[in-house]
Each structure stands twice: as structure tokens, then as C-alpha cells.
Amino acid sequence: MSAVNLTTKIAVLGGGQLGRMMLQEVSRYHLNIAILDPSLEAPAAALAYQFEQGDFKDYDTVIQFCADADVVTIEIEHVNLEALKELERQGKKVFPQPAILEIIKDKGLQKQFYQERGIPTAPFRLVEGDLADHVDFFPCMQKSRTGGYDGKGVYPLKSVGDIDNALPGPSMLEKWVEFEKEIAVIVARNETGETAVFPLVEMEFNTEANLVELLFCPSQVSSDIQQKAERLAIQIANEMGIVGLLAVEMFVTKQGEVLVNEVAPRPHNSGHHTIECCYTSQYEQHVRAILNWPLGSTELIQPAVMINLLGAKSHAGKAHYEGLEEALKHPGVYVHLYGKSKTAPYRKMGHVTVMNPSLEEAKQVARELMNHIQVVSVDNSK
């Protein structure tokens, strides 16, 4: 375990909402953190002591941006990996490690990683050519091997007729899982190899947008499933040797199996509630892990429900928030707005965490707020 050195310079690639919340959560340590993002209006820009406008997908920009950093991290996976590898060769600490990012950013390689290690996951095929050759594998979920996020790179193939609208490019076909529940476990691992698992969360999805709509913790799965899920998350983190956070999305089947869906090597949507509802937030935990500080307690203080504030379906343009007054009336309701000036259908604009001693009450309040709060556009310019 290294001593707590507050002058370590951290370079963060990406300035989205995850970067913004990371800054918010560790601001009391007054760390030396710089953010790189192509947009001056990036959610993290306004809160960063140091902000550089630039493309994290560009080799030279990344090398130059990280030149005086001691530790390099990311808040988005789609960054220039060659640059990260070079920085690692130069002796910088790059967490999560580029070799791990390489596996995770390709859903095909990710699935192979699980398969080779006997980690339970749904059967899959890697495909490039004609999908008609794979109808014997239907029903399945087609997933773009790279670049997908927030349900944008997945497409259900149930019958031959679906092929016409399938995703272009190399993809991974994953057998359709008739899951009973979707859950996620976030685990942190520091350089020493210490791990800490956040309490399991359960998700409810908006099937139209393929986006998580409501998330709650503690999950209502059996303790047997909880243990299986936690063990799997720790196993994956250890086998990868990751330093930082690993969010593991899983399916629970009707037979009580736990199957790994995918992982993200960073703070995750399913951990927003940890800001108010756990002793240590996922954002602080990520920073503790990459600095090799002792990991914080992940214990839940009170039950939590989180809803994403997504841009309304047919609205695009300057963002306007309706119904926030209602949210502000309730005790234990925390509204987070990411400061994105423009909304778009289903764009993640913010989230609300409801904290309540009763999970049922928290869910009720969250559902009420879901109906009240709307992110619309005042000009609705497309």
C-alpha cells in the first residue's frame, strides 16, 4: 500500500458525467486531476481544476496530455489504446491497464475471455459475413463487437425477417437469454490486489430504449445468487488483474443461474446511488484503487433507488427540465444534472437517487418522480 500522496497528478481521458461525478466525489482531497475531452461543454469541464480540449481518440493528443501525469485513467473506454500502451511502456501507471481495455472494448474478445476461464456466460458466435448463415442460432442478440453503448450496439434477431435491419460490421451473436433479472456488481481492485465489492443492484429496463430505467439496492435476489454474483465479479477482476473499478452486468435466469453479460472498466450507471447511499462512492473508490490507497467501506447506509433522467423521446435541442420542484419536496431525494446544454431522445441528462429506510417507499417515490420529471427541449430544433 502506498502512502497517501496528494500531489500525484491524475490524467483522466473523458469528461462526461462519470468524470464529473468523480471530480465531485474526490474534491475534498484537493487532488491534482486534469480532464481531457473534445467538448468545452463536457459535463466535467466546469468542475475541473485543469481541463484540456482535445480528442482522446487521437494518439498525439493523449501522449501530450498525459506527459506530466503520474497516473492515467479513463471514464470512457473508447480512447486511443496505442497511446495508453506507449505511456505504460514509458513507466506511467495506466489504470485500468490498456491490455484489459483492449479485451473489454471488443465484446467478442470479452466473451472469449469468459469462455476460456469457465466463467458462466451465454453461448455466442463471432460473425462477419451473412447473418442468414446463422439462423440456426436464432433467437439471439446481435452485438456490435466495438463501439456500442447504452443499447445502441445491440439488436435482437428473432427470425429471418429481422436480418434486414441488423447491425452492420463484425458482430457477436449471443443466444437469447430469458432472464428473470438483470443485476450488476461493482468491484474495486487496487494495485496491491485488495478487492472490495459494492452491494448488488437490481435493474429494471426500459425495453423500448434498451436502457436501464430504475435501479435499486439492496437487490431482492436470494443470498445464494448474491454470493455467486459477488464471487464472479471478484474472480473476473482478479483474473484480469484490473486496477480500478470493474462493473459486472449479469443476468439471473429462471433456473437461478448467474450469467455474465458484459463488464465496464470504470464507474458505472448502476453505481450512481453509491454517492449518497454507501459509505464510499464508486467514484471515490475508483480513485482510491488507482492511487493504491486503502479501499473504502462499500456498505449500504440506506436502501436506494436510482432513475436516469433521459431526454424525452421526441425532443432535441436546448434542454429544459420540468417537474424538479416535485423532486425537491421529498426528503432523501438527490437530483443530479449533468449540465449538458442539449437534450436528445434518451440521452442521459441526469439522474435522481431516492434514499429511504424502506425500499418499497423509495421505489414508490422514484416512480412518482419518473412521471413528473421530463427533460424536454424548448426550441425542439433537430
Ligand X SMILES: Nc1ncnc2c1ncn2[C@@H]1O[C@H](COP(=O)(O)OP(=O)(O)O)[C@@H](O)[C@H]1O
Residues of this chain that interact with ligand X (CB under 6 A) are 122, 141, 143, 148-151, 153-154, 174, 176-177, 182, 205, 210, 249, 261-262
Give least dist CB 102 to ligand X, A: 17
- By C-alpha distance, which of 59, 339, 42, 44 is closest to 33? 44
Give least dist CB 262 to Mg ion, A: 5
Q: Which does 19 bind (CB under 5 to 8 A by kind): ligand X, Mg ion, none?
A: none
Span 214-273, contacts to Mg ion by CB under 5 A? 249
- For Mg ion, the closer of residues 66 and 236 by Cβ is 236
Q: Which does 177 bind (CB under 5 to 8 A by kind): ligand X, Mg ion, none?
A: ligand X
Give least dist CB 162 to ligand X, A: 14
Residue nearest to Mg ion (CB): 249
Alpha-carbon span 302 to 323, nearest angstrom? 25
Largest CA distance in the chain: 60
Three-class SS state of 201: strand
Q: Which does 151 bind (CB under 5 to 8 A by kind): ligand X, Mg ion, none?
A: ligand X
- For ligand X, the closer of residues 122 and 214 by Cβ is 122
Alpha-carbon span 340 to 41, nearest angstrom? 7
Span 98-157, contacts to Mg ion by CB under 5 A? none
Q: Which does 25 bind (CB under 5 to 8 A by kind): ligand X, Mg ion, none?
A: none
Burial letters for 138-150: b for 16+ Cβ neighbours within 10 Å, e otherwise? bebbbbbbbebeb
Give least dist CB 328 to ligand X, A: 31
Alpha-carbon span 37 to 329, nearest angstrom? 35
Q: Please name the residues in contact with 119: beta carbons below 8 A apart, sequence gap of 6 or more.
A: 113, 232, 235, 236, 239, 260
Alpha-carbon span 350 to 373, nearest angstrom? 11
Q: What is the identity of the amino acid at 131?
A: L
Q: Which does 149 bind (CB under 5 to 8 A by kind): ligand X, Mg ion, none?
A: ligand X
Give least dist CB 89 to ligand X, A: 30
- Cis, bond preceding 218 (omega within 30 deg of 0): yes
Would you give the binding string for Mg ion spanning residues 300-339, x where CB under 5 A is met? Answer: ----------------------------------------
Phi and psi angles of residue 231, each rounded to the nearest 5 degrees, phi first? -65, -40
Give least dist CB 227 to ligand X, A: 22
Q: Which does 199 bind (CB under 5 to 8 A by kind): ligand X, Mg ion, none?
A: none
Q: What is the DSSP letter of 72?
A: E
Alpha-carbon span 317 to 332, nearest angstrom? 31
Q: What is the DSSP letter of 1?
A: -
- For ligand X, the closer of residues 149 and 279 by Cβ is 149
* Residue 303, all three cell numbers: 436502501
Give least dist CB 207 to ligand X, A: 8
Binding residues (CB under 5 A) for Mg ion: these are 249
